[in-house]
Structure 1
């Protein structure tokens, strides 16, 4: 018999979320996650995928996955430290290190796993972590695992970071101190001030940690935010996902050889979770080779982002402070944001509402992710829907 207290908890809280316009429904795709998708037999312009370069449906990646699966099997069969490490895993990590301009790299099953693994493997209860207040949920959870003192600094406020770093260092309470930031902030599309962060870190002996999930494949010729600022030799941890611009699944940490050696013996997701599948690893290798061989996809991504952002602004919408292809259309009120997204859906545009707790209350937005695989015709279809729904809801004149 089900627990009555659990049932009461679930019913009450789900009802509250629905009443506040915060309950999210999931609809399965009937197609690949490309620039156009199909749901319940209907076609949509897809503006919700993180598949920046369109690589998740690239034939080169698909063929690599198929061939690796035929050779190595559907699964890796064990954790990395027993006998789940295939020659493919080593090849991927070598390519990642070269790609990120570091001595070494270690791969994980997801980007979320990276932040759970790497932070807690280095930081402990005698340490302090300075964390940007808008950092991703995986960073927040990774910090919680450490039992370190977590000191939040105002978003990209370098004066606040400097002041809090100085106070923490002068207190004499902490053995090690780390500063953690997203490279590109996923909800607003702004870029971390890494040159300033590196300078502050060197002044106060802070370990530097950059989660570049949304910068990899997009900035720095594809190598990411750290390379964008020419800081590869001044950042201790470069974290990233293999599921966004790389187009597959997984994550990595890149850094000095000694750091990677330590993570291989002390990071729990590496030690206790079965290794990534051969097909996924081979597809990641193929994707990195594609990104390194040509700027064509990155250039097309940025062209499409500029086109969409210009069109939205001309209609009278705000795209906030974005500096990247991430294109938030700021609505504000949660219920209005959800209604806006539903109406776009009815008009054949799939662009999901992002509301509290993912973003602060009152800052709801529809987040658009143009990709290299879109066409201007697809983006025009989306802009036409935005204009129609925006006027209908009184959001634009």
Structure 2
């Protein structure tokens, strides 16, 4: 049967053959287009380390601190070499100086919370180190496959701050109310994630970490300068990231909340000029990770103050409904800033997973 049909086809006219082939080709193309639309195939062409580093240099953000920022970033090694201490539960009177690179830091999990880091013990040292050292600041870069169908590569850019400053609030017509030590904690890790397309290296969007979460911003909404590099704004004292300047209130709303202030200043870190690749996933050649990256205990102690007590110092100067509004912020502050010392980059969920 197959042979007979084949003979019949061969005896047909040339025009008929061309018409049949054209119809067959058209049907095949339409089938491919239908399959692509209904079930697209992922483009999975992982980038090499060299390509990823080149892309980071091309897009590396400029980190802008607020003009009134008191607590600047530093390198991790500057923090260690200037008196940062390692504490262990039950041995609080015998803290240990941290060696360069964090070679003497404990490795692995610490579910019991046995270890934590802290500023130097003397007041002068604490004050000096908490202010950071912007000249030493460097970006810690982590390359990893993007989670969206294998079509992207994520470039995480982490910045370290020795100290997170106190927060302030806006309460209706009162633009700024200092809340004492509320929000303060030792060590602060913030980051942005650049998501680039594997197929052509185009920057698709950027994730800005913020207290209690963060946000994705399409590349078209970034403030570009020096070619394809963009501005990364750090909020005053709290260091939450944003793609633009301005004020955002975090809290119940109705004209009151925790202030997040972003503004441009001459306090700026060029992340492309000073960076270290600390991890790269999915490559045959592994990155030599710094010892401190495997430290999974807390980068700061449990806070040594009560948020309610700090807020009460301000509350007594307010009238009527303003007192109640301020009381509502206490829960928000503890949810946003937490009570325990912060975790390092590798412990955070977005190190391996997608940005929340």
Greater per-residue strand proportion: 2
TM-score range for the pair, normalised by the shorter chain length: under 0.3
- Larger C-alpha radius of gyration, 1 or 2? 2
TM-score by length of 2: 0.21
